[in-house]
Amino acid sequence: MTAAPRTRIKICGLTREADVDAAVEAGADAVGFVLYAKSPRAVTAERAAQLAARLPPFVTPVLLFVNGGALEVIASLARVKGSIAQFHGEETPEQCEEATGPDRFRYMRAARIPLGAAGAGFDLVKYASDYSHAQAILLDAHVEGYGGGGKAFDWSLLPPAVDAHLVLSGGLTPANVSDGIRILRTRCKTLSVDVSSGVEIDGPGNKGLKDAGKIRQFVAAVRAADASFSS
């Protein structure tokens, strides 16, 4: 019997101490802070540093940027110790490299996949090659704004083989994350998952406010999916 593969989990869009603690307690591998002022989940670099200071060893803080300047990105990453960048705007490979550098900080690059049948036209293989210095390519739905829309693209339309570490995002919930893992796990080097809106408190005005119970359910669903791959 082979060991079950382990899907890494990131809980994104955190704004409160209690939610950071809930993510850690549930077993998240990474937590995300949105450093994009137009997002309802936005925090400052100073606030992200305060929240990240609560993290135990081996839980990684991730800072999400949207078309930020290189100096801003570098300063924010330096402020939040141990963090990596997630570029979620229109950043070119050259801009990502400028803002992190080969000897500075690691980064992930978000790929915004069109909804519906149009998703088949997104060349993920080329995209991953263009951003070959990224630690991973994060897959999100192309919606108005930049992420956090709670929309899922058609996972089945992605290429059968991508030479990259992938992070599945966009519209994930405790109810559907196992399907995403099943569809995509064998199509890439490794697969991780990233959830934000799918673990938030129900109701308008609650973006950035997480539900500890939903976080636990999400992590449990991922672990159950992992276990189903053992043989």
Using one digit for the tens of pLDDT, what is the confidence trace for 32-75?
999 999 999 999 999 999 999 999 999 999 999 999 999 999 99
Confirm if 141 and 168 have CB atoms less than 8 A apart: no
Q: Say if residues 196 and 41 touch (Cβ distance below 8 Å).
A: yes
| Residue 24 DSSP SS3 | helix
What per-residue confidence (pLDDT) applies to 2?
59
Residue 72 corresponds to which tokens in the numbers above?
Answer: 């801003």
State the burial class of residue 212 (Cβ atoms within 10 Å of its Cβ: 0-12, 13-18, 19+). middle
- Give the active site residue among 19, 29, 140, 194: 140
- Report yes or no: 54 and 21 within 8 Å, Cβ to Cβ: yes
| 74 phi/psi in degrees, rounded to 5 | -60, -45
The structural domains of the chain, ordered by start, are 8-228 (3.20.20.70)
Which parts of the chain have pLDDT scores under 70? 1-4, 145-149, 230-231
The dihedral through the CA atoms of 32, 141, 133, 167 has a sign that is positive
Alpha-carbon 87 to chain mean position: 10
pTM of this structure: 0.94
pLDDT recorded at residue 151: 83
Q: Catalytic pick from 12, 19, 96, 194?
A: 12
Q: Is 202 a catalytic residue?
A: no
The answer to whether the beta carbons of residues 31 and 53 sit under 8 Å apart is no
**Rounded distance, CA 90 to CA 13, Å?**
20
Is 163 a residue of the active site?
A: no
- Can you give the pLDDT at residue 53? 98
pLDDT (0 to 100) of residue 150: 73
